């Protein structure tokens, strides 16, 4: 069984009623070595304290409210990254630069929701997905060349734009979790990953396995992402070495665990 690090998982640890060691054992039996947990700071860090060898803590913050001091406190408490989502202004807006600089100075990962965001029943304000295009990541990355950046969801539906940024910018990585990525044609992903049948190793080196599933409960549908990634690997003839990098190796390096 190929072991994987899931680079995009959600879950509220305060609602977890199980035994941490047993839960980790169960996940690893399913092929999940570690998970990047995205939740509120207190919940994420509590899960990390309970399962330090399994949880990669990346707390979610409100990009328009969080302060540099709070960013530093969260990282000093153990966070290996910070997740941003649903900004009021483009990710590329310079007003966010102090936040990005603080994460970069600590050597941590800045994770960005890119592309479409599911509709909420009672949104606090209208969401503008154009503010979360991969192009905005390119804009800010030019001012923060040392910041480790992870684009969640591969810019859905701006797939080609996301590929271009990931391929072109040395400090930008991406994953294919959630949304509708796994429902698109495998031939589309094969062409992106291996144009004219030639594997694009520069792109594969920047891709991470991820699902966007929920932890601390049964993983219903979790296997769909195993099948999706494996189908892409098979379609492009990815070597065992490259499968291992996408499945786990690149995540370990990005989060400073290898």
Rounded-to-integer distance, Cα 202 and Cα 213, Å: 27
Residues 6+ apart with CB under 8 A from 64: 87, 88, 89
Q: What percent of the chain has pLDDT over 70?
A: 97
What digits encode the pLDDT tens for the residues 16-73?
988 999 999 989 998 999 999 999 999 999 999 999 999 999 999 999 999 999 999 9
**pTM, whole model, 2 decimals?**
0.95
List the helix and strand counts (H, then E) for the chain: 11, 9
What is the 3 state secondary structure string of 64-98? CCCCHHHHHHHHHCCCCEEEECCCCCCCCCHHHHH
What digits encode the pLDDT tens for the residues 113-146?
999 998 875 567 889 999 999 999 999 999 999 9
What digits encode the pLDDT tens for the residues 92-112?
999 999 999 999 999 999 999
What pLDDT score was predicted for residue 221? 60
Indicate the class that CATH gives domain 4-254: alpha beta
Say what the alpha-carbon torsion angle 32, 258, 110, 194 is, to the nearest 10 degrees: -70
What digits encode the pLDDT tens for the residues 144-184?
999 999 999 999 999 999 999 999 999 999 999 987 788 88
Rounded-to-integer distance, Cα 179 and Cα 211, Å: 9
Question: pLDDT-derived band of residue 223, with 50, 70 and 90 as boundaries?
Answer: confident
């Amino acid at each position: 069984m190929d072991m994987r690090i899931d680079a995009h998982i959600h879950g509220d640890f305060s609602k977890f009623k199980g035994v941490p060691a047993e839960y980790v054992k169960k996940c690893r039996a399913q092929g999940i070595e570690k998970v990047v947990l995205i939740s509120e700071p207190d919940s994420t860090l509590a899960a990390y304290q309970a399962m330090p060898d399994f949880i990669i803590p990346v707390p979610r913050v409100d990009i328009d409210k969080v302060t540099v001091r709070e960013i530093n406190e969260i990282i000093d408490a153990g966070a290996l990254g910070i997740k941003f989502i649903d900004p009021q202004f483009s990710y590329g807006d310079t007003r966010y630069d102090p936040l990005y600089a603080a994460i970069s100075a600590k050597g941590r990962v800045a994770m960005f929701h890119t592309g479409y965001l599911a509709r909420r029943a009672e949104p606090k304000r209208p969401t503008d997905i154009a503010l979360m295009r991969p192009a905005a990541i390119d804009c800010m990355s030019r001012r923060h060349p040392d910041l480790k950046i992870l684009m969640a969801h591969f810019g859905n539906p701006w797939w080609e734009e996301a590929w271009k940024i990931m391929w072109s910018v040395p400090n930008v990585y991406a994953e294919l979790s959630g949304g509708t990525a796994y429902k698109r044609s495998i031939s589309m992903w094969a062409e992106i990953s291996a144009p004219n049948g030639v594997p694009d190793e520069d792109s594969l080196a920047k891709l991470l396995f991820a699902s966007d599933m929920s932890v601390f409960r049964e993983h219903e549908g979790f296997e769909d992402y195993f099948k999706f990634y494996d189908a892409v690997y098979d379609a492009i003839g990815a070597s065992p070495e490259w499968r291992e990098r996408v499945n786990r190796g690149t995540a370990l390096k990005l989060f400073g665990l290898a």
